[in-house]
Each structure stands twice: as structure tokens, then as C-alpha cells.
């Protein structure tokens, strides 16, 4: 039974690339931490993390379900569990529905505003795959999806949306859109062949890298505005500086060799969120 359960969980964790949840959780926690001047409690912490996990599970499963035919044709994605049949179409649909209901229920437990916004948030999370079929701005839709994380964290503890949280969200949006453009460099020819829209397939490699750099510059600018308007201290400014250095390193890695894209995508961006969170915590605790 334990072996069966492990195999069952493993295939769903693989379906949604659960390890990539590391991109959104630090920023939902940053929103929660900055929005309160005291400990907001274990209940909200657990609910906030569960909301982030179920929202991302929903978004990734919808993406895998809608893209399964394209993924089957792409050599890079042909071994995904959504393509091989390891997770069936019915199982994916059930997984999507279950995570949607859990997310809405968790939002109800948090507060009224979170509950009212839960369905609109799920709608935004679910339209990314459709955008790839008619607009290269799909990268920004993905950015908006993760940019909602810090705002959701703020809503959870304060039931409002202060100006600084919007700056933080815009920073996350441009950060995610920027690295998603870089990730899409792997599929330029496939996207052109299948009629899928991405910035690399529309403007080419050099143009895509330039736009990604621009987005990452905007991310740093908005994070700086977040720190200023939230009236944070030294460690928060340090978080912005370190983030800028890490994004610069990410671009250098990819410009050197496109084979570094997976490393840049997961390692650099994953550590960026964690370091940002740790420095925000230090700012609140020590200053």
C-alpha cells in the first residue's frame, strides 16, 4: 500500500513539476510578512502555503491537459506523464477539479476578499495555454499568474491591496515573463512549425533575449519601488541588489550556451526567491 501510494503521488508531482512551486511560495510569504507587523499565526501560514500549492497544481495541470497534443509532437516534452499516459486525461481532469475546489475552500477559510477573488484568480491561471495559441503575450499572462502570489499573501493577512504590494507583484510578473521568454528559446522552431506564439518565435533569439533583459530590468525597478513604498530597510535593499546580480548571471549563462537554460531556469530563479524571502525576514526581525 505504501509503495502504491508513493508511486501514485510521484506521478502527480511529476505532472505539475512540484519542485517549481518554489517560484511562487517565497513571494506569497513575503507579501504576508510585510503586510503585518507581528506574527500572523500558523493557521494563516499553512493556509497561505496550501493556497499557493493548489493554485499552482491547478494551473500546471490545466496547462498539461490543454497542451498534451503539442507536447506529444515536441521531442523535449514527449516523455511527460501527461503524454505517455502515465496520468490519463480523466485523471488530469479530476486533479484539476479537486485542486480548484480545495483552493476555493481555502480562500473561504482565509477571509471574504480572498474568497471573492478565488474564481477570477483561477480563471487567470487557466488561460495561459490558450494565449499561446493566438498571442505572444502569453509570457506576461504566466507572469501575472505568479504575480498574484504576493497580492494573495497580503489579502490573506490584511484583506486589502496596498500600493507596495502592487509594485511587488509587477516585479514578480516581469521576472517570471522574462525567464519564461528565455525558457521558450528551446522551442523556437517547434512553435513556428505548430503555429504557437512565443516572443522567441516572433522576434528571434536576439530580439527575445533583449526583451527578456528589459523585463528583468523592469522587475528590479519594481522591486526597488516595493522596498521604498513599504518603507523597508537595509536587508530588503540588499535583496533587490542580489536579485539584479542573479538575473545578470542568468543571462550570461544562457548567452554562453542555450544548454544552460534548464540550469538558469530552475537553479538561479529558485534561489532568487528564497534569498529574497530570507533577507525580507531578516529586515523584519533585526531592523
List, in order of start, the domains of the chain with CATH numbers: 2-286 (1.10.357.140)
CB 261 within 8 A of CB 185: yes
Model confidence at 154, pLDDT cuts 50, 70, 90, reads very high
Share of the chain above pLDDT 90, in %: 45
* pLDDT digits 0-9 by tens, 163-219: 999 999 999 999 999 999 998 888 888 888 888 888 998 899 999 999 999 999 999
Cα–Cα distance, 198 to 208 (Å, whole number): 9
Cα–Cα distance, 16 to 40 (Å, whole number): 29
Per-residue pLDDT, 10: 74
* pLDDT digits 0-9 by tens, 3-23: 656 666 777 777 767 666 677
Neighbouring CB atoms inside 10 A of 112's CB total 11
Per-residue pLDDT, 36: 87
CB 150 within 8 A of CB 183: no
Cell of 268: 538561479
Give pTM, 2 decimals.
0.90
CB 272 within 8 A of CB 246: yes
Neighbouring CB atoms inside 10 A of 69's CB total 9
Per-residue pLDDT, 15: 74
Amino acid at each position: 500500500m505504501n509503495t502504491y501510494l508513493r508511486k501514485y503521488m510521484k506521478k502527480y508531482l511529476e505532472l505539475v513539476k512540484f519542485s517549481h512551486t518554489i517560484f511562487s511560495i517565497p513571494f506569497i510569504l513575503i507579501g504576508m510578512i510585510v503586510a503585518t507587523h507581528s506574527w500572523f499565526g500558523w493557521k494563516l501560514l499553512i493556509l497561505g502555503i496550501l493556497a499557493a500549492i493548489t493554485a499552482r497544481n491547478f494551473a500546471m495541470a490545466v496547462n498539461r491537459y490543454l497542451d498534451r497534443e503539442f507536447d506529444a509532437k515536441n521531442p523535449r516534452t514527449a516523455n511527460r506523464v501527461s503524454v505517455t499516459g502515465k496520468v490519463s486525461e480523466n485523471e488530469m481532469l479530476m486533479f484539476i477539479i479537486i485542486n480548484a475546489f480545495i483552493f476555493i475552500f481555502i480562500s473561504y477559510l482565509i477571509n471574504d476578499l480572498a474568497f471573492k477573488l478565488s474564481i477570477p484568480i483561477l480563471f487567470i491561471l487557466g488561460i495561459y495555454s490558450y494565449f499561446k495559441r493566438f498571442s505572444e503575450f502569453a509570457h506576461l499572462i504566466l507572469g501575472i499568474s505568479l504575480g498574484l502570489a504576493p497580492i494573495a499573501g497580503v489579502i490573506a493577512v490584511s484583506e486589502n491591496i496596498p500600493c507596495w504590494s502592487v509594485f511587488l507583484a509587477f516585479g514578480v510578473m516581469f521576472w517570471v515573463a522574462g525567464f519564461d521568454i528565455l525558457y521558450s528559446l528551446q522551442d523556437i522552431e517547434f512553435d513556428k512549425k505548430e503555429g504557437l506564439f512565443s516572443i522567441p518565435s516572433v522576434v528571434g533569439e536576439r530580439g527575445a533575449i533583449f526583451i527578456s533583459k528589459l523585463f528583468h530590468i523592469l522587475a528590479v525597478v519594481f522591486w526597488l519601488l516595493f522596498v521604498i513604498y513599504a518603507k523597508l530597510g537595509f536587508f530588503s535593499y540588499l535583496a533587490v541588489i542580489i536579485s539584479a546580480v542573479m538575473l545578470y548571471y542568468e543571462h550570461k549563462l544562457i548567452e554562453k550556451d542555450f544548454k544552460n537554460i534548464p540550469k538558469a531556469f530552475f537553479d538561479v530563479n529558485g534561489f532568487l526567491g528564497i534569498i529574497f524571502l530570507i533577507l525580507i525576514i531578516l529586515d523584519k526581525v533585526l531592523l
